[in-house]
Amino acid sequence: MRITVIGCGYLGAVHAACMTELGHDVVGIDVDEAKIAGLAAAAPPFFEPGLPELLERTLATGRLRFTTDMGEAYGSDVHFIAVGTPQQPGQLAADLRYVHAAVTALAPQLRPGDVVAGKSTVPVGTARSIAERLATEAPGALVAWNPEFLREGFAIDDTLHPDRLVYGVPAEPDEAERVTAVLDEVYATPAAEGTPVVVTGLETAELVKSAANAFLATKISFINAMAEVCEAAGADVTQLADAIGHDPRIGRRFLNAGLGFGGGCLPKDIRAFMARAGELGADQALTFLREVDQINMRRRARAIDLVRDELGGSVLGRRIAVLGLAFKPDSDDVRDSPALNVAAQLSLQGAAVLCHDPRAIEGARHRFPELTYVDTIDEAVRDADAVLVLTEWRDYRDLDPTWLAAQVAQPVVVDGRNCLDADAWRAAGWRYRALGRPREARVPALA
Ligand code: NAD
């Protein structure tokens, strides 16, 4: 098939390369000239494991091109919309201006029967409003919503081997049939591997994505709420999570207490979901998401409390090593990153903060130029009064606490992700603090 992907960020660039890998002929379009130049040279301006290699391979086939010229969309059978939908400044709702700008630019290139397939995460009702617009701006073009569930860090595998495909299709049976057939052809390879395909109406498909993110955010905030209670009661949330996670109805995944969620999706998506529910008159249904958001934000403050507590009540003038800035490991994404937020707050409270991250320094420097960034873990920890591990990169999980203890001014560690071996660190002489765990080990770890 000939495919357009509009918006070549974390989602769109991966989607374009993966669609080429599946055998299609793909044009990736973005308004950002530098991004397009980088992608065309197999040098994406963001980190996603395996993406440079995949781009190199797929560009070499001659079936993948990147351009800023929307005219190149003409002739594609399906046009994926993968532009950003950030939070509106000062509001909870999503900013749809990029989606609408993309549709405006695309409309003159559409032929009757072309499928415009949204992948961006949008408030329910967006697809229908696009379909209404296109009915006059591009008669005969069809709108589908095909939400994306990829995880940064695993984006290629998640796109080539998704755990499900959701097609939101128009209500009119002929149109639904055409859209389903086109998407079936796009995803013939994963479908042949047995990937379940769920065909729904447009609104349900949009809501599937919002609901999935709301559930994941709630699961994380649930265990972080348990962490708060554990802190008050002197219990250990990691043991609690292991124990409740053995129940298959609960499951252990996404039950890691710590600094909470961040990134370019979950925070803004749950807020946009609340805002949209309000517009629809269903705001009561989602008031719990406000609590989910608040629990999440409280964890950042609590991490800072732990540092202050260990440093005698103030961080003023203290030297603090922050290990990890990305919102999660294997990503350079610092959008709404809890780690970066904690680093910035400590700096504002007068600490000398030395920040390290294997991939995210450039993005972090762009957002918070006033922080100090160093290239090696050694530089970050040298003579530190406290070491904070805020993103669970393998480099940090594998640190040797005995070696590290010899580098710092005092052996204080705050494990913001519950990713270190507390017993090993304590045995190496560290004062180990973590969210949701007692100051001292009180009970033996579960076998
Ligand atoms: P991003 O900011 O990395 O990329 C968005 C891209 O769209 C940018 O390159 C921007 O230049 C481009 N763009 C903006 N306006 C344009 C226009 N009019 N025409 C062409 N290009 C335009 O964002 P992202 O992380 O890739 O997310 C994109 C969408 O996918 C969002 O709705 C997001 O919620 C959703 N999503 C993201 C992920 C993820 O892990 N990043 C996962 C699932 C869904």
pLDDT for the residue numbered 207: 98
Q: How many Cβ atoms from other residues are within 10 Å of residue 364's Cβ?
A: 24
- Any atom of ligand 1 within 6 Å of the Cβ of 255: no
Fold match, 2-195 / 215-434: yes
pLDDT for the residue numbered 441: 75
Which residues, in sequence order, are CB contacts of 238 under 8 Å at separation 6+?
A: 257, 418, 434, 436, 437
- Any atom of ligand 1 within 6 Å of the Cβ of 29: yes
Is the pLDDT at 132 greater than 90? The verdict is yes
CB distance 237 to 436 below 8 Å:
yes
Residue 149 and residue 213: Cα distance in Å, rounded?
9
Which tokens is 212 given? 């999935």
- Any atom of ligand 1 within 6 Å of the Cβ of 264: yes
pLDDT for the residue numbered 271: 98
Query: Atom of ligand 1 at shortest distance to CA of 98?
Result: 15
Question: Given pLDDT bands bounded at 50, 70 and 90, which one contains residue 444?
Answer: low
Query: Atom of ligand 1 at shortest distance to CA of 268?
Result: 34
Q: Minimal CA–CA distance to 257: which of 284, 295, 283, 226?
A: 226
Q: Calculate the CA dihedral of residues 394, 246, 265, 165 and round it to 10 degrees.
A: 110
Residue 6 and residue 16: Cα distance in Å, rounded?
9
User: Bridge-partner residues for 197, per DSSP?
Assistant: 165
pLDDT for the residue numbered 155: 97
Query: Atom of ligand 1 at shortest distance to CA of 122?
Result: 32
Global confidence as pTM: 0.96
Mean pLDDT of all residues in 14-41: 98
Mean pLDDT of all residues in 141-152: 98
Average pLDDT, the chain: 97
Mean pLDDT of all residues in 223-249: 98
Mean pLDDT of all residues in 232-253: 97
Is the pLDDT at 447 greater than 90? The verdict is no
pLDDT for the residue numbered 446: 55
Query: Atom of ligand 1 at shortest distance to CA of 13?
Result: 26
pLDDT for the residue numbered 443: 58
- The CATH architecture annotation of domain 215-434 reads 3-Layer(aba) Sandwich (3.40)
Residue bearing the CA closest to ligand 1, atom 18: 102
- The CATH architecture annotation of domain 2-195 reads 3-Layer(aba) Sandwich (3.40)
Question: Given pLDDT bands bounded at 50, 70 and 90, which one contains residue 440?
Answer: confident
pLDDT in tens, 305-349: 999 999 999 999 999 999 999 999 999 999 999 999 999 999 999
- Any atom of ligand 1 within 6 Å of the Cβ of 243: no
Mean pLDDT of all residues in 37-41: 98
pLDDT for the residue numbered 37: 98
Mean pLDDT of all residues in 224-233: 98
The domain ranges of the chain are 2-195, 215-434
Pocket perturbation via mutation, ligand 1, pick of 4, 10, 337 by most ligand atoms within 8 A of CB = 10
Pocket perturbation via mutation, ligand 1, pick of 265, 270, 271 by most ligand atoms within 8 A of CB = 265
Which tokens is 25 given? 């002929």
Residue 307 and residue 357: Cα distance in Å, rounded?
19
Which tokens is 206 given? 């949009």
265 classed as catalytic:
yes
Q: 8, 230, 265, 355: which one is catalytic?
A: 265
Is the pLDDT at 231 greater than 60? The verdict is yes
Q: What percent of the chain is modeled with pLDDT above 70?
A: 99
Secondary structure (H, E, C), 200-213: EEHHHHHHHHHHHH
Residue 308 and residue 291: Cα distance in Å, rounded?
26
pLDDT in tens, 370-420: 999 999 999 999 999 999 999 999 999 999 999 999 999 999 999 999 999
